[in-house]
Chain A
């Protein structure tokens, strides 16, 4: 009996020490939950969630300080993914944060631009190039459509437009129920 107690105690403390050592030795710097939440966010960096970017919002969700329904660009699908990850009930988007819109990109009306660099400073993903007193332009492929460049522009020369679709962007559509005719021509007799 005593042997058993001593053995179990010894083993327990041994494993405890081992685990404690491993926890220190192999400690992961970043919080993996934050990373997982961050990976589900659309990375628009628009700040509509009232946090200065997607990562801070992810950290706030992880700390329990923010709700999962504050991200308009992520939309319903984003909320559902977050709910699945965190094991909570999905809820509709909080209207205080904005509404889900189609993705657009910013375009600068170049002749009207006065080169004030205010939009460059506002862009969270460095998608605007230009210099003081020189024309600015948006790198379309990098623009997240966050709208943060709109308010600072003193001459109101930035527009949000739906990106142009080319044939290369064409995708097979979702089938409708009344689909085209099937063929019997080659059927085995």
Chain B
């Protein structure tokens, strides 16, 4: 697709939402969302123990800031990450820190990680809260700092620290804030439930974010299937008197909720490869993130809970729950009536992008938008992988306009330069290609592996480069030292020679005087 000139792109980005467009590929999937939307949102009671993982985002783990036996209050910081406050982890309730232990942390690797184990005291007492009440007049920098301290991350599933995104947006200049309510993955309904039950806080969050980044307007993108949501959001907008907030209905095609796909639908423009929505003057945030921002600013509350969809045919009463971070998943399942007899697989996230968990004692994490339990019937038995027949189905459905069959071949053959050229980094791991592949090739697994290898290669290259620089610096230093030593030696020799000269001259002078004296006699 040819890109229009920059001025036209910006113009179209400014008019985002006025006209809807399409993105390439995608799938129309059965929604399976209704089953979890019938019961109202309910808060999860305090479990006997909370297991708060220190690693809740990709990258490095936070360091625990508490010791066993220490009393903590709700919202107190229990994990920090050096100067990077945005990675902080907070206590989900008041109580005693029982121990710091390595436990399952709902990580895709299935491995254990460091958790702070808290025994609640039942009082659920908040720490000293510092709300910014008159946020309408507050300095935007203060608002951004509050978002940073509250440990808010993107709650759509990517868990990228919101503070970093917001800071970047502020620096680059953003005209439109897009709130992503297009929750396109089957089964997941936590955002829909949020928009139905707490539209006011979403609108409030939108207005705060708008002020924090200096955006002129907000677009809330929802799916056309979400009937009640449109009305509730509209009413909330009216109530807040926010005429700069528009609600746009988009057609439900998976993966429309992907940031880049949603922007393409709203503006008809592609976010450039390797670029970000900020290049078009846009910032995309999940609706749940906006609520977290509203809570952080207006009430001073850090991110300690989130809405989780507990659903699937393996659950007796699928519904949405407001759960504290660190609550064991089994507590949520129990609250939903427990498992059905034919429950077979526990998945964190949706059926397309989620990953299987080995145990339901894993805690709820910031990224946990959905707990999906599938029955035996829904899981296809492992199918033997067949050779690629080059049917091109994967190319037809790829929303990032990649060539999955080519990438698959190149990754298997470790042709890393070609892999980069064919744009593996633009793959959003949506799983569409995997889904349609008639040969049952686990394409996304290969792409994840390819991305991991590229990253390792990059790290290795970086290390080699730094070793080379250090080696050269050392060589240069050794050469310089040698040179200096030679110079010093030379100077010393010269000094000795001078001294000998002086002595000689002195002796001559004495001799001359002596001879003159002798001559005078």
Contacts and interface: CB of A to CB of B under 8 A. Distances in A.
B359 interface: no
A115 to B, nearest CB: 20
Given A181-B382, A182-B440, A188-B29, A175 B467 contact: no
Nearest to B453: A171
Given A167-B107, A172-B445, A185-B186, A43 B113 contact: no
Contacts of A170: 107, 109, 111
Interface in B370-422: 374, 378-385
A124 interface: yes
A124 B107 contact: no
Nearest to B55: A167
Contact of B466 (A41, A124, A142): A142
Interface stretch (B173-181, B238-246, B293-301, B468-476): B468-476
Interface string A133-155: 00000000110100000000000
B449 A181 contact: no
B123 interface: no
Interface in B6-28: 27-28
A151 to B, nearest CB: 18
Range for the number of chain B residues in contact with chain A: 35 or more
A179 interface: yes
B61 A167 contact: yes
Which has the most chain B C-beta neighbours within 10 Å: A142, A179, A189? A179
A126 B455 CA distance: 26
B351 interface: yes
A189 B28 CA distance: 10
Given A144-B467, A182-B434, A185-B378, A126 B473 contact: yes
Contacts of A42: 464
B30 A171 contact: no
Contacts of A183: 351-352, 374, 378-380, 435
Interface string A19-56: 00000000000000000001001111100000001110
Contacts of B449: 171-175
B471 A53 contact: yes
A166 B61 contact: yes
Contacts of A45: 467, 471
Interface in B312-359: 351-352, 356
Contacts of A60: none
Contacts of B165: none
Chain A CB within 10 Å — which of B113, B186, B352, B442 has the most? B442
Given A168-B59, A182-B440, A124 B379 contact: no
B109 A167 contact: yes
Contacts of B474: 124-126
Interface in B413-467: 434-435, 440, 442, 445-446, 448-449, 451-453, 455-456, 463-467
A54 B452 contact: no
B60 interface: yes
The A interface is mostly helix, strand or loop, or mixed, namely loop
Nearest to A168: B60
Given A179-B385, A182-B383, A172 B464 contact: no
Q: How large is the interface on A (under 10, 10 to 19, 20 to 34, 35 or more residues)?
A: 35 or more
B32 interface: yes
B339 to A, nearest CB: 16
Given A43-B465, A173-B449, A180 B382 contact: yes
Given A170-B109, A171-B452, A186 B471 contact: no
Contacts of B471: 43, 45, 53-55, 124-125
Contacts of A182: 380, 383, 434-435, 440, 442
B381 A181 contact: yes
A151 B254 CA distance: 61
A188 B28 contact: yes
Most B C-beta atoms less than 10 A away, residue of A124, A126, A167, A188: A167
Contacts of A126: 470, 473-474
B291 to A, nearest CB: 27
A127 to B, nearest CB: 7
Contacts of B456: 171
A141 B464 CA distance: 11
A101 interface: no
A63 interface: no
Nearest to A178: B382
B57 to A, nearest CB: 10
Given A53-B471, A142-B470, A177-B385, A185 B440 contact: no
A142 B445 CA distance: 32
B351 A175 contact: no
Given A167-B113, A168-B59, A172-B451, A185 B374 contact: yes
Interface string A88-132: 000000000000000000000000000000000000111100000
28 contacts: A41-B464, A43-B468, A53-B471, A54-B471, A125-B467, A126-B474, A141-B463, A144-B467, A167-B109, A167-B111, A170-B109, A171-B452, A172-B445, A172-B448, A173-B452, A175-B446, A177-B385, A178-B382, A181-B379, A181-B383, A182-B434, A183-B352, A183-B378, A186-B30, A186-B186, A186-B352, A187-B29, A188-B29
Given A38-B468, A125-B470, A126-B473, 8 more contacts: A43-B463, A44-B467, A168-B59, A179-B382, A182-B383, A185-B374, A186-B32, A186-B187
Interface of A: 38, 41-45, 53-55, 124-127, 141-142, 144, 166-168, 170-175, 177-189
